[in-house]
Amino acid sequence: MSDKARKLFEALDLDADGALTREEVITALHRKGPTLAASGDLPAWALGDAEASSALFDAADQNGDAVLSLEEFAAVVDRRFGWG
């Protein structure tokens, strides 16, 4: 797991409970995405609408429990963003 994936997970974890919900990912990327991209913590091409954020969530939710752990999240973003 890359440090970038961990940092992005923490930025998106709005309630700091150690897990991400679909709504949290959509809301956080909408609110924080441009700032994260400007600081290099998220590829600019990864910014998208709610549908794209939801698709990222679905790709990462390996066990289908509607909650992303850090490990599930990192596995997908490291691969998609070339961080791993």
pLDDT at 63: 93
**CB atoms < 10 A from the CB of 23, how many?**
13
Residues across the chain: 84
Tens of pLDDT, residues 17-75? 999 999 999 999 999 999 999 999 999 888 888 898 888 899 999 999 999 999 999 99
Torsion (CA) 8, 13, 17, 23 in degrees, nearest 10: -140
Report helix, strand or coil for 21. strand
CATH code for the domain defined by 3-81: 1.10.238.10
